[in-house]
Amino acid sequence: MADTIALVTGANKGIGREISRQLAAKGIFVLIGARDRERGEKAVADLRAQGLPVEFIQIDVTSQPSVDHAAAEMERRHGRLDILVNNAGIALDWFPASELTVEVLQKTFETNVFGVFRVTKALLPLLRKSKHGRIVNVSSGLGSLTRNADPNSPLAVRNMSLAYCSSKAALNMITIHFANELKSNGIKVNSANPGFTATDMNQHRGVRTVEQGAATPVRLALLPDDGPTAGVFSDDGPEPW
């Protein structure tokens, strides 16, 4: 395991930090991706104080120069990548679609969709050098087309957060397309639903702990070679798209 290298984006706090902690506790060398150097280095110092093998890497998923610089830096430092956890995400709209603006929709997609695509593309050459590449896209049950379309589901009754929901639905399509393309390379790509987890994203109203929220992303990051690809999963197993 000591030879396994992972990158977690948005790893300075919340679910991403906990995913990093759990992976590092298994002996994986984890690159703590954060857009803000101070916040990232603080997380690294805290995790190192627990004896965990982690290192800071600055990466703002909305900035092509930042992502390119991070990819070049990872190539220089490690020469490959085994696990990519696309965790960085934002949720800005807690209101119905009629109140949403194009600006908020674009801003949400810039991080949750284009950011994931940008990071994945930039790091594919390094992932292809791994013998057991894994990509985990941290999605959400709110991105389920099936549940949003079911008039009896609580999601459809609530009917809020179009920007966030549609960004995670688009993210799930990114999962499927990369999974299909990379299958022959042995790289597995899956979406993880952490469940409603208490973090800054929801002012800590979530009902799950970060330890619980990180469990499925970590499981998917550590899938064996005969594990699934092109799926969306929660703690309960496969979920509907």
Task: Please identify every residue annotated as catalytic.
Answer: 164
Residues whose CB is less than 8 angstroms from the CB of residue 226 and which lie 6 or more positions away in sequence, other chains included: none
Residue 13 contacts ligand NAP per CB under 6 A: yes
Residue written as token pair 């948005």: 10
**Segment interacting with ligand NAP, rule: CB under 6 A, options 70-78, 88-96, 146-154, 227-235:** 88-96
Residue 78 binding ligand NAP, by CB under 6 A:
no
Verify binding: residue 199, ligand NAP, rule CB under 6 A. Answer: yes
The SS3 assignment for 25 reads: helix
Q: What is each CA distance from 147 to 130, 163, 164, in whole angstroms? A: 36, 16, 14
Residues 6+ apart with CB under 8 A from 71: 122, 123, 125, 126
Rule CB under 6 A: say whether 87 interacts with ligand NAP.
yes
Conformation bin of residue 27: beta by default, left when phi > 0, alpha when psi is -120 to 50: left
**By CB under 6 A, residue 111 contacts ligand NAP:** yes
Residues 147-186 that bind ligand NAP (CB under 6 A): none
Q: Which stretch binds ligand NAP (CB under 6 A): 95-103, 151-159, 197-205, 223-231?
A: 197-205
Smaller CB separation from ligand NAP, 183 or 205 = 205
Q: Is 143 in the site for ligand NAP (CB under 6 A)?
A: no
Nearest residue to 175 via CA among 141, 143, 137, 220: 137
Q: Which two tokens stand for residue 187?
A: 């790289």
- Shortest Cβ distance from residue 201 to ligand NAP (Å)? 4
Q: Does 10 help bind ligand NAP (rule: CB under 6 A)? A: yes
Helix-then-strand count for the chain, H and E: 9, 8
Nearest approach in angstroms of CB 119 to ligand NAP is: 9
Would you tell me which residues interact with ligand NAP (CB under 6 A)? 9-10, 12-16, 35-36, 39, 60-62, 87-91, 111, 115, 138, 140, 194, 196-197, 199-202, 206
